[in-house]
Amino acid sequence: MLRTSVRLAIERVESVEDQLEAVVATGVPGAVAVAFRPDARIEAAAGFADVRTGEALTADHRFRIGSVTKIFVAALVLQLVAEGLLDLDGDAAPFAEDITIRQLLNHTSGLRDWVDDIVECFEPYRRDHNHPFALTPREQLQLVLEKPREFEPGEGWAYHGSNYLVLRLVVEKTTGMTLRDALTERVLEPLSLKRTDFVEGPLHGDCARGYLPADNPLLPGKSGPVDVTEIDVPFHEAGGGVVSTPAEIARMLRAQLRGELLSDRLRTEMLRAVASDWQETDRYGLGIGEVTALMARQRSPCGPAWGHIGFSVGYTAMALSSEDGERQVVICANGSPSTPSAFEAFWDAVGRLAWRLYCM
């Protein structure tokens, strides 16, 4: 009986590795998957952490996680609410008058992003990959506030990073600390997330290098993947600046949904979701969304999950958890597709693997 159990476990892991290879075959340099539940833990990796040197990707490598960052920032903001330092339904003045903290967290503020054309935004980087990003958060906010609101606060839903730009300024004013220091003190250290950090500038150290395919429109290359690991862009800030390992992302989700960081009342508020009109979630709560089909493609056979998808320049992350915090699946890749067909192939492969691990 024991031999059979071991064999079945090995076959399951080998199948996960095969499915990860299928993810890599869609055109990303490498991918890692981790899954946690009370009776099992799976970690697997495929592909390369560094295409130039041939270094193999492992589950211990760190990745930029894009908008999965919002789970971390929302936890911090809700802690400040718990301490009475912020009012969830209070005004976010002086940074965004007549908009509440809740509306920023769940993207119902009506604020637009300051970037209109992402391809145009990358023009300086096409001339020089080392171009430094110079706008401060307050300067970015001024550009946001110069735009007409997409709708009146609370009267619609639209996902924009500008909401978390405002939350960053609110956090820093309230705590007297930088967002990085506040996250470290209030979220990362209590959970012993020692390999998770908030990194706004160029990425260095024990990280998988990030790549764009040569045919991407932002920083096209002549042949082979374009290394964008150390690029300094505005998307690595309050809504997308966290760097972590898949296992530590899973740990964060588990803590959030099991109530380790929040009271029952605020956990309930976090999951009080509104309809979200886009591919990534069915409903969106406070920094976290309900998901039944990954990028509106592969559908869960065992009900919804809660989590987030993150896109960063050269990286893609997907983090899911059961509502009770008992199961997590995280998949990170150090690349991203650039054509519609590659996008569909990538998310079909990721979706098949993610739901298999989530529903096993």
**Torsion angle defined by CA atoms of residues 316, 321, 326 and 331, in that order, rounded to the nearest 10 degrees:** -20
pTM of the model: 0.94
Q: How would residue 13 be classed by pLDDT, with cut points 50, 70 and 90?
A: low
Share of residues in the chain with pLDDT > 90 (%): 90
Report the pLDDT averaged over residues 197-213.
93
Distance, CA of 350 to CA of 157 (rounded, Å): 27
Q: What are the pLDDT digits (tens) for 22-58?
A: 999 999 999 999 999 999 999 999 999 999 999 999 9
> CB of 313 within 8 A of CB of 218?
yes
Q: What are the pLDDT digits (tens) for 128-168?
A: 999 999 999 999 999 999 999 999 999 999 999 999 999 99
> Minimum mean pLDDT among 2-11, 106-115, 228-237, 332-341: which range?
2-11
Report the pLDDT averaged over residues 95-117.
96
- Amino acid symbol at 132: P
- Beta partners for residue 328, in sequence order: 36, 321
**Torsion angle defined by CA atoms of residues 140, 142, 147 and 151, in that order, rounded to the nearest 10 degrees:** 90
Mean pLDDT of the chain: 94
> Minimum mean pLDDT among 76-80, 114-118, 144-148, 249-253: which range?
114-118
Residue 269, classed as helix, strand or coil, is: helix
Copy the structure tokens of residue 141.
């906010």
Domains and CATH numbers, the chain: 11-359 (3.40.710.10)
